[in-house]
Chains A and B, each alone.
Chain A
Amino acid sequence: MTGAALTAARAGLVSCEACQLLSRPASASAPGYCRRCGEKLEYRRHASIETTWALVVAAAICYIPANALPVFTTTTLGEEEPDTILSGVAFLYTSGSWPLALIVLVASVMIPLGKLVALVYLLVTVQRGSIANNRERTRLYRIVEIIGRWSMLDVFVAAFTVALVQLQPLTSVAPGAGVLFFAAVVVMTMLAAESFDPRLIWDASNPRQAGHG
């Protein structure tokens, strides 16, 4: 792999993120909009590193109350029992359905944490100008982008448990504050993956290239 690979940015071209049409903008500082589909054109996603860091930090903070606070509270004959994400996993495990416990554990704990760690790793290596393992880092980014949606699982579990178990006065389930924080973690990590620009991974190998916006 030579360091002088010809990228679109180096050739003065900008690729539309929606339809992949290549344009040669009249002005490099304000590329304008794609003429085929109307998407805003950018050599690199705007303020990619800063936006991704902000969302990653915010998601990491929200991850604490998401796990500490109950996602829902079951009331059975006046007796309240709060359920957090981890106690939900423990319940599934003890009730004998360990495959489901594993699925929920992966989707609700390992995927959000793994995404945060992966994004921090990508951000730090890009900021340090690393040129090692570009292909692997790009693949890691793609995995983060694809699996992120699965952490919505627990939000759906809470929603449908709440919707169905409404047998007042016998038993009922109400959502807890944890579900809001957990939903925030999922949405913010998804947006963080969207705002990170994988092309920055490769830009360090092209040192004389025009800077990103």
Chain B
Amino acid sequence: MNAHVETSSIACPDCDLLQHMPPLPRGTKARCVRCGHVLASRPPGPRDLSLALALAAAITFVIANVSPLMDLSAVGRTASTTIAGGAYQMWVEGEPIVSVLIAFCAVIAPGAYLLFMLILLFAAQRSPPPHWAGEMLRWTHHFEMWSMLEVMMLGILVALIKIAEVASVEAGIGLYAVGALILLIPAVMVTFDARELWARVEWVGGATSRQAPGGVPVAESRR
């Protein structure tokens, strides 16, 4: 069985230096004394702010995925596409791997991120949070990295300008929804206090029976 150490000690993920983490006031950050990595940051707003933002983002995400991103017309013919349409056409044209990658980065990863965040934020209202919250929070971080809506937005704009040479293009509701999403998703990320939730997650042999720190040195890391 692994023994855990007092949770106020932390090792920098970038340089492994052991440090003592003082309680952070709202709206402040703690940096590693050795390499400068942001070890922890405490968002300024109330806890429910990220829940409100995540709800707004989830609704916007649905709109972004069901409405057309843009309409194209040239010599009496029209075409339109959605986010999923971008991935689907790649599949049809014989690039299934690229198609899956686009679907993952543009739909699955951001969708799963928002869904998991909503479940987590509702679960975090309970005290203590349910035992699966830790496992879920871990997965949420993986989806965060592969969610690339902001890159997709820029990609669509470049494509639009290229196409505007040969046909007239009009932005659809979906494009405005994506524009709102690329502001809402980072807002959820910065207002969510992952550290606060981690501190409340209970685990076998943890939280309730705190063990003495085993010779862990103290290094102030606040800046």
Q: Which residues of A contact B (CB under 8 A)?
A: 1, 5-9, 11, 13, 15, 17-26, 31-32, 35-39, 41, 88, 91-92, 95, 97, 100, 103-104, 107, 134-135, 138-139, 141-142, 149-150, 152-157, 159-167, 170-171, 174-175, 179-180, 183, 187, 190, 198-199, 201-203
Contact = CB atoms under 8 A, between A and B. Distances in A.
Given A22-B9, A35-B206, A39-B138, A159 B98 contact: yes
Contacts of A203: 16
Question: Interface SS of chain B: helix, strand, loop or mixed?
Answer: mixed
Interface of B: 1-5, 7, 9-11, 13-18, 34-37, 69-70, 72, 74-75, 77, 79-81, 85-90, 93-95, 97-98, 101-102, 105-106, 134-135, 137-138, 141, 145, 148, 151-152, 154-159, 161-163, 165-167, 169, 198, 201, 203-206, 214-217
A152 B105 contact: yes
Given A19-B198, A21-B4, A24-B2, A154 B155 contact: yes
Nearest to A165: B163
Contact of A142 (B9, B14, B137, B154): B14
B193 to A, nearest CB: 13
B16 A92 contact: no
A23 B90 contact: no
B72 A35 contact: no
Nearest to A159: B86
B14 A199 contact: yes
A183 B101 CA distance: 8
Contact of B158 (A103, A152, A163, A190): A103
Contact of A32 (B2, B98, B206): B2
Most chain B CB neighbours (cut-off 10 Å) among A100, A139, A159, A165: A159
Contact of A24 (B5, B15, B98): B5
A164 B79 contact: yes
Contact of A22 (B4, B94, B201, B217): B4
Contacts of A162: 86, 89-90, 93
Given A23-B4, A155-B101, A161 B35 contact: no
A23 B166 contact: no
B74 A170 contact: yes
A16 B145 CA distance: 18
Most chain B CB neighbours (cut-off 10 Å) among A8, A153, A174: A8
Contacts of B215: 11
Given A7-B15, A160-B81, A25 B165 contact: no
A199 B89 contact: no
B27 to A, nearest CB: 20
B155 A175 contact: no
Nearest to B77: A167
A38 B132 CA distance: 10
A39 B203 CA distance: 13
Contacts of B72: 164-165, 167
Contact of A175 (B13, B95, B159, B166): B95
A32 B138 CA distance: 16
B103 to A, nearest CB: 10
